[in-house]
Structure 1
Amino acid sequence: MTLFKPTLIVNHLTVIKDARVVLEIQFHKGLNIIRGHNSSGKTTALDFIAYTMGAEDIPWKKESLLCDYSVLDVSLNGENVTLRRDISEKRQQPLYIYWGQMAEALTAPIVEWEQYPFRRSSNKLSFTQILLQALGLPEAQGDGASNLTMHQFLRVIYADQPSLHSPIFRIDSFDSALTRETVGNYLSGTYNEELYSAQLSRRNFEKDLSQAESELKSIFHVLAKSDQYVDLEHFGQQILDAQRRRATLLEEVRLLKAERTIKSDQRRSEDDGATRASLDSAKKELASTMDTIVRIELEIADSRKFIEEVTSRLKSLDESQDARSYFGSIVFNFCPCCLAELKVGNGEVCVLCKNPMDGNAGEVQILRMRNELLLQLKESEGIIQIRENEVRALRLNAPELKQTLRILEQRYIELNQFWSSELELSLENASREIGSLDREITSLYENQRLASVIKDLQARRDDLQQTIHALDSSIEVLLVSQEDRKSQVFYAVASALSRLLKKDLYRQQEFRTAEQVHFSFIDNQIIIDGSAKFSESSTAVLRHLFHLALLTASTEIPTMRFPRFLILDGIEDGGMERPRAYRLQEIIAEECSTYEVDFQVIIATSQIAPSLNVEEFVVGRAFTEDQRALAIL
């Protein structure tokens, strides 16, 4: 069969308690039926599958909470990955990932498992990000500043029993119309990646704009309390005026000292030594600051080169994966070193290195390498941000250090000039005024630096506002183009649902005709020929056939992100009569038989149709009151 991406297949479920397997089910591609008596644990098995893939709000039964953890072997676009999650009533448990099959994972040391949290952080990817990368899917922004998670996707993929009257989505504690719309559009493939990127960029720019405005507000609030006026050009002119006055006074002092001289005394020698020490210290501090700036700038340049290299390697990994996919395994007839003819050996052993070959090893290694490179990329970008902040702070401090150095140099020169004792009073007055001007100039430089910070923040705020405005225009255009793709997918789903409903037993008048089919992810509602209210059993039929219609559309439209995977529970919910329950299962099986791509449907029923109670469809043992799903006792 053809493999559409993304495709998710569950291969093996294992639940562990006290180092002992208490539930184990092997699955296959296509239709899988878990059967058993009511309250025997069928739903429990489905809950473990969804939970191990990242679902939240699982209504755990007390027997389930006695278990330690669940392990799930899944195929993500044909590559085996093993997932493990500790069983707990606490929300947002992390997920452990092993890049290989379950048989290897269960015996692998703990260091070969990678732990990922439910939520992302500045230095850690979430397990949703990792699984989406493995499925070749982009991230998507949800309600507010959040990003969609595997939990939100599984709200559509897993139709569980408690959500009978929630026809499209599983019931969720934190639900919103915007989140439902985004999840539905994402899985149906109508959520544009470029649109997502623009919305994500806008979100980041809005965060930066909010920070800049907050900083400006804080600064102006302090200035208002201190009754200060901050203007960059005003302070610059004041500094020039003060420096000119100081230069005039210095010239007056020089002329006074040139008239007569006196012998240097001990106090002057001490002042001279102290000034020289301060001057040396100021020179060292300025030199250290400038050296630090140069060093950090070199580190930033080196980090940027490293980022370019990592980006290049990521691109090379993608090209390597494409090349492997296109050419397959290369067979060497001659040794590339000595040109001797190579003997053809076992096809499962490499002809060069003689190591066992695993057809999926290369792809799994590429996934692992891509994940490591992405982590390095994220860390390097964070380091660059820190270094740039350090350089910015040092550059702001440099003018003040230079001014201090100039003052000390001038003071040292003054101390080494000769002066006459009868001029002492005039010189002291001039020196006192010069000292006052020095303090004034220092204060002006500090105010000038503050004004420079304000000016930079104002310029950044204006640039961010213009950028956000441009993004808004781009997003508006992309939203229009998205509607065209949405119409195609929604028509395919509605057509499939109309056709499937007509195959139901004649119990609901609207299902017999089903001429006008409308559904809304935003409203979480399905309307058939103008009606959205049906009997309990008809509501169950409608819910399952809608999800099946989604799956059908995903097998026909490659651009849909619905992972060709479906879990249906409560086939006979709503007091459904047995013939209708049988017919619903037969409709599902008949529809699945028409698919020409890889897919998987897992359903649970207590009334399996006789025609489907065969090895081709059933998985695991039949659960009963005496032999329940969880073999805890």
Structure 2
Amino acid sequence: MDMLAYSLGAENIRWKPHALKCSNVMVEVELNGEPATFLREISQDAQRPLSIFWGRMDGALSAGPSQWDRFPFKRSEQKISFSQAIFGALDLPQAQGQGAANLTMHQLLRVLYADQPSVHSPIFRMDNFDSALTRETIGGYLSGVYDDQLYTAQLRVRELNKALDKKISELRGIFRVLGQSGQTPDIEASRNIIQELEQQRAQLTDYIDQLKVSRTLSRKESNEAGKKADNLRARLSSAKRYESVLKDSIAAINLDISDSKLFIEELTYRLQSLDESKATRDYLGDMSFQFCPGCLSELKTESIEHSCQLCKSPIESGADGQLLRMRNELSIQLKESKLLLALKEEEVLSLSKDLPSATQEVKRLEKEYKSASSNWSSDIETVLESTGRRLGVLDQEIQQAYEKQKLFSVIQELQKQRDDLARELTELESTIESLEAGQQSRKVDVARVLEKNMIRLLKQDLPLQPEFVDAQVVKYDFEENSVYVNGSRNFSESSTVVLRHIFHLALLSTSMELDYMRVPHFLMLDGIDDGGMEQNRSHNLQEIIVRECGAYKFDYQVIFATSEIQADIEKTNMVVSRPFTPVSRSLDVR
């Protein structure tokens, strides 16, 4: 039985010494009516690969290595796992999503193979790396509750949430930078500015061309050209004053900030001192002295009420209230000071943003004034030079406007992607809600039919367990790995074995009735007579299995092993191979 389970992909097999003498195990199977042969190396190492020959064993025995497909236990980007290959041949969907990503043949066989070491595990073969989430996933998958569309949608929702968070984070970062620089991300406004700047540039270019041809200026232009140096001087003075005001304001506020920080430190220290003073009073307030700490003379016992034991000075009442009042005042001052400090720091930050551009403007005007005052130029040359400089400034502004437009286009695209992701997320969440409602309906249907079949089969057991005789309610829980009959799950050893096998048989019967379930029509039941079961009860359980399977309308295979086969069953062709004994074991390795 262990060999069969291992050849189908089971893990955590407790190998017996005889089995470890074998090198490989080969088994012929039918997958949806199509034959295939599995070959797997026997090893105590975990997660061994499996080779598949897509044909019967007769052909596999003579096939060359190139005719076999070798699949690893785990999937990878380059190779599918043997579980994926078998699921594909069985037309079973690949389980996806959280908790379902690792669903393998081993996990299915934990339900389809009830082995002897797991006799007290009513649903699952025990697993060293078991988890409640894994059991819930396996149960949902086999019950047909697993919906590939639902899990795909849930997986997509997680991807969308990550992508949406990323887009929102990118937008927040951009908006934070733009807000600090005082820019507004308006793509339409940036286009209008570019058009205005282009028009101004075209006008200036035409004006320069006209001047070069006519070489004449109007009286107004001549007067303005003559006053160029004076205008530059006035502009330079104004720019320097503005720069000085900014620097002085920043320095003054920084000085205030330093004072505020010192004041806050002082307030914090005072608060700490008050807390220490209160702690000291609480600790020493009720202490009595027998001797003077100064001269070590014995103190007189008589004392005056509300006075110090040592100096006899009156102790003021309400001292704790005074401390509380002082602490409250200091806390208010500290809060206000921190608020004012934050405002001053914001003001310095705002002024510091303007300072570089003011300094740059001063340097530019200084160069321009120096050039105008040191070199004589005619009125036309002065106008051409001034106009060319304005043209250069316009070119720079146009370039910056285009760069801004690029940035705003990126923002617009990010916003569109964010909105698309949000829209798809909303639609998927609605789909998931609908699918989950359908899933819940299937859960109820499977539970109802499985309960009906279990009650029917339990009542066919010998009348030894009262709960089975009068079975009214049967509940099962894949996640908890428990089966309850009339609210109880603790029974005698033999009744536990009966309940275990009847649950698996009822699960197979239910899958025959509900076509959406995904239980392969295959069971392996070991330890039919475990748990000190009486022979007549074991024989009855065998008859229940044979009788139930005889009513199935679809192709199936149920393999059960027992050391005490029922006489009528032994005479049929249902018995495979020969009886195994200590001197003639199932693996007769010589």
Aligning the two structures, in what range does the TM-score lie when normalised by the shorter sequence?
0.5 to 0.7
Q: Which amino acid in structure 1 is aligned with residue 185 of structure 2?
A: D
Q: Distance in 2 between matches of 1:254 and 1:66?
A: 101
Q: Does the 8 Å CA contact 1:230/1:451 hold for their aligned counterparts?
A: no
Structure 1 match to 2:228: none
Structure 2 match to 1:607: 564
Structure 2 match to 1:161: 116
Structure 2 match to 1:504: 461
Structure 2 match to 1:231: 185
Residue 573 (structure 1) aligned with residue 530 (structure 2) = yes
Deviation at 1:545, TM superposition (A): 0.9
Query: CA distance change for structure 1 residues 123 and 503 in 2, over 3 Å: closer, same or farther?
Result: same
Structure 2 match to 1:548: 505
What is the 5 A alignment of 1:282-361? none
More helix by share: 2
Output one character per residue of 1:454-509: Cα deviation in whole Å (capped at 9) or x when no partner: 43333333333333333333333333344444444333322222222223233322
SS of structure 1 residue aligned to 2:573: coil
Give TM-score, length-normalised by structure 2: 0.62
Residue 83 (structure 1) aligned with residue 38 (structure 2) = yes
Q: Distance in 1 between matches of 2:62 and 2:547?
A: 40
SS of structure 2 residue aligned to 1:106: helix
SS of structure 2 residue aligned to 1:58: coil
What is the 5 A alignment of 1:39-118? 46-61=1-16, 64=19, 67-118=22-73
Deviation at 1:99, TM superposition (A): 2.0
Deviation at 1:538, TM superposition (A): 1.3
What is the 5 A alignment of 1:442-461? 442=399, 444-461=401-418
Query: CA distance change for structure 1 residues 107 and 426 in 2, over 3 Å: closer, same or farther?
Result: farther
Moved more, 543-552 or 238-247: 238-247
Structure 2 match to 1:211: 163
Deviation at 1:218, TM superposition (A): 4.8
* 92, 100, 118: which one aligns with 1:137: 92
Q: Does the 8 Å CA contact 2:100/2:134 hold for their aligned counterparts?
A: no
Q: Distance in 2 between matches of 1:574 and 1:446?
A: 81
Structure 2 match to 1:172: 127
Output one character per residue of 1:487-536: Cα deviation in whole Å (capped at 9) or x when no partner: 44333322222222223233322122222222233432211122111122
Output one character per residue of 1:341-399: Cα deviation in whole Å (capped at 9) or x when no partner: xxxxxxxxxxxxxxxxxxxxxxxxxxxxxxxxxxxxxxxxxxxxxxxxxxxxxxxxxxx
Q: Does the 8 Å CA contact 2:7/2:25 hold for their aligned counterparts?
A: yes
Q: Which amino acid in structure 2 is aligned with residue 210 of structure 1?
A: K
Structure ranking higher on relative contact order (CA contacts 8 Å, 6+ apart): 1
What is the 5 A alignment of 1:224-623? 224=176, 227=180, 231-233=185-187, 235-255=190-210, 258=213, 441-442=398-399, 444-614=401-571, 616-623=573-580
Structure 2 match to 1:284: none
Q: Distance in 1 between matches of 2:102 and 2:512?
A: 26
Q: Does the 8 Å CA contact 1:202/1:468 hold for their aligned counterparts?
A: no
Alignment RMSD: 3.7
Deviation at 1:541, TM superposition (A): 1.1
Structure 1 match to 2:276: none
Q: Does the 8 Å CA contact 2:139/2:478 hold for their aligned counterparts?
A: yes
Q: Distance in 1 between matches of 2:82 and 2:74?
A: 8
Q: Which amino acid in structure 2 is aligned with residue 465 of structure 1?
A: A
Q: Distance in 2 between matches of 1:145 and 1:155?
A: 15
Q: Does the 8 Å CA contact 2:468/2:485 hold for their aligned counterparts?
A: yes
Q: Does the 8 Å CA contact 2:154/2:432 hold for their aligned counterparts?
A: no
Q: Which amino acid in structure 2 is aligned with residue 203 of structure 1?
A: L
Q: Which amino acid in structure 1 is aligned with residue 422 of structure 2?
A: Q
Q: Sequence identity, in percent?
A: 46
Q: Distance in 2 between matches of 1:441 and 1:88?
A: 74
Q: Which amino acid in structure 2 is aligned with residue 547 of structure 1?
A: H
Output one character per residue of 1:588-631: Cα deviation in whole Å (capped at 9) or x when no partner: 22322232321101122333334333461232344444444445
Query: CA distance change for structure 1 residues 106 and 204 in 2, over 3 Å: closer, same or farther?
Result: farther
Deviation at 1:76, TM superposition (A): 1.2
Q: Distance in 1 between matches of 2:15 and 2:402?
A: 66
SS of structure 1 residue aligned to 2:561: strand
Q: Which amino acid in structure 1 is aligned with residue 470 of structure 2?
A: T
Q: Which amino acid in structure 2 is aligned with residue 523 of structure 1?
A: E
Q: Which amino acid in structure 1 is aligned with residue 465 of structure 2?
A: Q
Q: Does the 8 Å CA contact 2:164/2:422 hold for their aligned counterparts?
A: no
Structure 2 gaps of 5+ residues are 216-377
Q: Distance in 1 between matches of 2:212 and 2:448?
A: 97
Q: Does the 8 Å CA contact 1:205/1:464 hold for their aligned counterparts?
A: no
Q: Distance in 2 between matches of 1:631 and 1:444?
A: 88
SS of structure 2 residue aligned to 1:605: coil
Q: Distance in 2 between matches of 1:181 and 1:448?
A: 53
Query: CA distance change for structure 1 residues 556 and 205 in 2, over 3 Å: closer, same or farther?
Result: closer
Q: Distance in 2 between matches of 1:510 and 1:431?
A: 103
Q: Does the 8 Å CA contact 1:180/1:521 hold for their aligned counterparts?
A: yes
Q: Which amino acid in structure 1 is aligned with residue 162 of structure 2?
A: S
Deviation at 1:548, TM superposition (A): 0.7
Query: CA distance change for structure 1 residues 140 and 244 in 2, over 3 Å: closer, same or farther?
Result: same
Deviation at 1:216, TM superposition (A): 4.0
Q: Does the 8 Å CA contact 1:139/1:147 hold for their aligned counterparts?
A: no
Number of positions where the alignment pairs a residue of Structure 1 with one of Structure 2: 426
Q: Which amino acid in structure 2 is aligned with residue 596 of structure 1?
A: K
Deviation at 1:204, TM superposition (A): 1.4
Q: Distance in 2 between matches of 1:97 and 1:498?
A: 40
Q: Which amino acid in structure 2 is aligned with residue 563 of structure 1?
A: P
Structure 1 match to 2:346: none
Query: CA distance change for structure 1 residues 250 and 65 in 2, over 3 Å: closer, same or farther?
Result: farther
Deviation at 1:442, TM superposition (A): 4.9
Query: CA distance change for structure 1 residues 98 and 440 in 2, over 3 Å: closer, same or farther?
Result: farther
Query: CA distance change for structure 1 residues 630 and 249 in 2, over 3 Å: closer, same or farther?
Result: farther
Q: Which amino acid in structure 2 is aligned with residue 611 of structure 1?
A: D
Q: Does the 8 Å CA contact 1:537/1:575 hold for their aligned counterparts?
A: yes
Q: Does the 8 Å CA contact 1:120/1:126 hold for their aligned counterparts?
A: yes
Q: Does the 8 Å CA contact 1:82/1:97 hold for their aligned counterparts?
A: yes
Q: Which amino acid in structure 2 is aligned with residue 206 of structure 1?
A: R
Q: Which amino acid in structure 1 is aligned with residue 60 of structure 2?
A: A
Structure 1 gaps of 5+ residues are 1-45, 261-420
